[in-house]
Structure 1
Amino acid sequence: MSEERASFGSKLGIIMATAGSAVGLGNIWRFPYMTGKNGGAAFILIYIVCVIVLGIPCMISEFIIGRHGAANTARAYTRLSNGTIWKLVGYLEVLTGFLITGYYAVISGWCLNYVYASVMGELNGDPAFVKNYFVEFSQDPIRPVFWTIAIFAITHFIIIHGVRNGIEKASKLMMPTLFVLLLVIVVAAWMLPGASKGIDFLLKPDFSKVNSDVFLGALGQCFYSLSIGMGCLCTYASYFSRHTNITTSAIQIGFVDLMVALLAGLMIFPAAFSVGINPDSGPSLIFITLPNVFNQAFSGAPLLGWAVSLMFYALLFLAALTSLISLHEVNTAFFYEELHISRKAGAWIVTVFCCIIGALCSISIGHKSGLSLFGLDLLDLFDFVTGQLMLPVVGFFMCLFVGWYIPKQIVIDELTNWGTLKFSFYKLFIFVMRFVCPLCILAIMLHQFGVI
């Protein structure tokens, strides 16, 4: 059965839902890790420039495709391309989002487990205990799968209630809660002895560490943290009204995403420096390093340490969930519109098949699972294929599609809301999409494979 296309009910709903799509685990752990590795504030300044030059124009492009196409990502590209080969970019976006949904839920499930573990006091112990807890949990054949299915169940419940009553309502609740939790933990971290060293490191630039790797790292962080190329922004834009100013919305969402990343830095650096830990431990930061940070930093007040740890993992869970909702919606919209079935049926297809992908990815981490391809477990393989291959390729061709193929008048109409907005920066926007963004994304791809 077909259903009337939904839409967001308010401007706040648009900002909260789309910002929730962009804000994810990459903001909370990867941004501080990249900042610590690449010169503190120097990296932040470069990142801000990348958001303005690359991130916001790419976001606007996805909004143009999504709102004008007024359909799921694949159909939106098909409509704007008049059925030419360019439509394959839309299908590739959907496929990318589908694969990311499956393995991203595994990490999201870990966050949900750590909320439970914090409540139950299971993370209290010395560094060896905390590390052993994570290793045993991640390699367990049952527990991670359970939490993967659990977070899919929460996501599924929100998705089946539609855009306004599900995604928008949930985002209006979760995103403010996420900010409140961030601010509370930031204040707690700043009160620790020696926290000022972490703040100084974050806010005082060290330009001696700046090189081409730092620039390309900032470009890559910007590209991934804003959810460009996954179909999320394009799908959400299809629910925008004709009165939504897509340029202003992109700037506001980019600002929210940046604020979350900066607050994460202001939360993690003071706490880490207070106990003599440099937060550059990569993916293990949130599951091994930080529990030890909380245990040491609040050793004199264990109840406060317990509360901060709980709030931190609740924060991670909310960040993961908002992104997972948007990824799920990309595929739900695709299935129920293309197969002409109900929204609930489309959501069930995504939930069931992505649960299977998530379960296989989770099981593959175990040393004795035997589930691996090309020398990688399935979780790392999915991360590599989507993150280093599919996302940059989709982003590259999306830029070319908007910059060179879409008729000029369509772009102008979308940027000006069909002439109701007098200010237009069409020439600058098209120049960026034709030359600047494709070259930046190409540089990211070549850098990832050691070519430059």
Structure 2
Amino acid sequence: MSNQQPRALWASRLGFILAAAGSAVGLGNIWKFPYITGLNGGGAFVLVYLVCIALVGLPIMMAELMIGRHTRRDAVGAFIQLEGRRSFWLSAGWVSVGAAFIILSYYSVVAGWTLDYVYRALIGSFSGQPTEVVEGLFSGLIADGPRQIAWHLLFIVLCLSIVIGGVQKGIERWSKILMPLLFALLLLLFVNGMLSDGARQGLAFMFRPDFAKLTPGSVLEALGHAFFTLSLGMAAMITYGSYLSRQENLFAAGLRVALLDTGIALMAGLAIFPVVFAVGLEPASGPGLIFKTIPVVFSQLPGGYLLAILFFLLLSFAALTSAISLLEAQVAYLIDERGWGRPKATGFLAGLAFVVGIPTALSYNSLGDWHLIGERSFFDSVDLIASNYLLPIAGLLIALYVGWFWKGTEEKEELMAGGAGWTYPAWHFLIRYVAPLAVAVILYYKMEETGVLAWFGSWFKG
């Protein structure tokens, strides 16, 4: 069953750019990018990452926007319209929507951590405390299942309250509020970083390439992050593209989103590394950089109380703008293919994501002995499934379909409709050859890294 009502469209170009950039700008920019930059040596990694955004991320984003705008359907419905209900290529839509659901369920729990830290910052939990006390706050949080579930519920309710309003009155309206606030907060923290004693070290660390520190693993990490940071392979860009005007230049639209996403990631690094250097801490401290190292930094800085509040508000806003796109990608499927009303679809999926996310909140406490895949916790297992397999599989399928199997001249016509026809030769080469190969390499690397290839090898041997 397919809903035949007129398709909602973005009210303005700015609304689309902010919503799509909000989808791309998430915890990956402000949490993951700084710490993987730290772990991989700084400037050389940043340079490789920028090249990967241009050659892999942007072409696949344009392909997803193109599929959405051409069909005016959700990610599954788009492939039904293009290839029919029995086509193999429907798997690209199903994998994308499935990834969006799984990621939202556990992403909401992590976003709940940021809300908890906003509260901790407000009550002064970091101010004047010894390092071991501040670092211990995170251990206390993940050991407290009910507390995580409460924040998880609050975050899901925030997502629901925005998405239920629809494209223009919900997502677009709130994107025009949340994204400028996010930019303002990041700008304040960026200026603070540039005025700190560690500014020179931070700039050198981020932008002075040291290729001796660049390993093959670093290149693959940059390639993988370039793909994941743009919300590719999770149905969000296909869905947002389906609300896009025919007159919109797809290259310009994708480029603006990629530039905003990349600019925010770089600004986040320049907000974080200078203050880390200023107090003599280690920039390559891994995932604990945000929830352990940064609170320690704020506890030692003048004005750290206010900086901590601003920083964790920034994290919360970034998480929210990404999460609403994940929820919308699923809601669009129920509206388009099942004929559900928006309130029913949004309420059902938000509630289901909350329930499925509860084991994630209990992964390091009540369910600490429950290992879903090997010795991995429930949280680590669902993240492994979604991030390491579903997203690259969806991205690979989309790149292969658009590059090799999309019948007719629709892709070229979509580019020409908004005035981006001149990009077709270069884009088509990248989406046909470079992007599929790059995503296949990511998938192979992840399978090797997580032991899947070894498991397959042992299985075939006997």
Q: Is the 8 Å Cα contact of residues 33 and 269 (structure 2) preserved in structure 1?
A: yes
- What residue in structure 1 maps to residue 403 of structure 2? 403
Q: Is the 8 Å Cα contact of residues 412 and 424 (structure 1) preserved in structure 2?
A: no
Among residues 174, 183, 196, which one is paired with 2:187 in the alignment?
Answer: 183
CA apart distance, 1:133? 1.4
Q: Does 1:122 align with 2:125?
A: yes
- What residue in structure 2 maps to residue 141 of structure 1? 145
Query: Residues 430, 423 of structure 1: CA spacing in aligned structure 2 closer, same or farther, 3 A cutoff?
Result: closer
TM-score normalised by structure 2 residue count? 0.93
CA distance in 2, matches of 1:12, 1:132: 42
CA distance in 2, matches of 1:92, 1:248: 27
Matches within 5 A, 1:50-61: 50-61=52-63
Matches within 5 A, 1:66-215: 66-83=68-85, 84-124=87-127, 125-215=129-219
CA distance in 1, matches of 2:202, 2:423: 40
CA apart distance, 1:205? 1.2
Amino acid at match of 1:429: W
CA distance in 2, matches of 1:210, 1:369: 36
- What residue in structure 1 maps to residue 435 of structure 2? 437
- What residue in structure 2 maps to residue 330 of structure 1? 329
Amino acid at match of 1:133: L
Q: Is the 8 Å Cα contact of residues 231 and 237 (structure 2) preserved in structure 1?
A: yes
CA apart distance, 1:278? 2.1
CA apart distance, 1:368? 5.3
CA apart distance, 1:450? 3.3
CA distance in 2, matches of 1:212, 1:408: 39
Aligned partner of residue 227 in structure 1, secondary structure: coil
CA distance in 1, matches of 2:195, 2:348: 48
Amino acid at match of 1:329: E
- What residue in structure 1 maps to residue 356 of structure 2? 357
Amino acid at match of 1:321: L
- What residue in structure 1 maps to residue 64 of structure 2? 62
Query: Residues 40, 363 of structure 1: CA spacing in aligned structure 2 closer, same or farther, 3 A cutoff?
Result: same
Aligned partner of residue 132 in structure 1, secondary structure: helix
Aligned partner of residue 384 in structure 1, secondary structure: helix
CA apart distance, 1:213? 1.7
Report the identity percentage.
Answer: 37
> Structure 1 unaligned runs (5+)?
none
Aligned partner of residue 282 in structure 1, secondary structure: coil
Q: Is the 8 Å Cα contact of residues 336 and 345 (structure 1) preserved in structure 2?
A: no
Answer with 219-228 or 363-372: which moved more.
363-372
- What residue in structure 1 maps to residue 346 of structure 2? 347
Query: Residues 367, 280 of structure 1: CA spacing in aligned structure 2 closer, same or farther, 3 A cutoff?
Result: farther
Query: What is the aligned residue count?
Result: 445
CA apart distance, 1:82? 2.7
CA distance in 2, matches of 1:207, 1:105: 37
CA apart distance, 1:407? 2.1
CA distance in 1, matches of 2:34, 2:233: 23
CA distance in 2, matches of 1:330, 1:400: 21
Q: Is the 8 Å Cα contact of residues 38 and 285 (structure 2) preserved in structure 1?
A: no
- What residue in structure 2 maps to residue 232 of structure 1? 236
Query: Residues 142, 422 of structure 1: CA spacing in aligned structure 2 closer, same or farther, 3 A cutoff?
Result: closer
Q: Is the 8 Å Cα contact of residues 232 and 329 (structure 1) preserved in structure 2?
A: yes
> Structure 2 unaligned runs (5+)?
454-462
TM-score normalised by structure 1 residue count? 0.95
Among residues 3, 10, 13, which one is paired with 1:11 in the alignment?
Answer: 13
CA distance in 2, matches of 1:440, 1:283: 25
Answer with 279-288 or 164-173: which moved more.
279-288
CA apart distance, 1:371? 3.4
CA distance in 1, matches of 2:150, 2:382: 20
- What residue in structure 1 maps to residue 224 of structure 2? 220
- What residue in structure 2 maps to residue 318 of structure 1? 317
Q: Is the 8 Å Cα contact of residues 198 and 274 (structure 1) preserved in structure 2?
A: no
Aligned partner of residue 147 in structure 1, secondary structure: helix
- What residue in structure 1 maps to residue 426 of structure 2? 428
Aligned partner of residue 320 in structure 1, secondary structure: helix
Aligned partner of residue 8 in structure 1, secondary structure: coil
Amino acid at match of 2:55: V
CA apart distance, 1:81? 1.8
Answer with 370-379 or 264-273: which moved more.
370-379
CA distance in 2, matches of 1:12, 1:421: 18
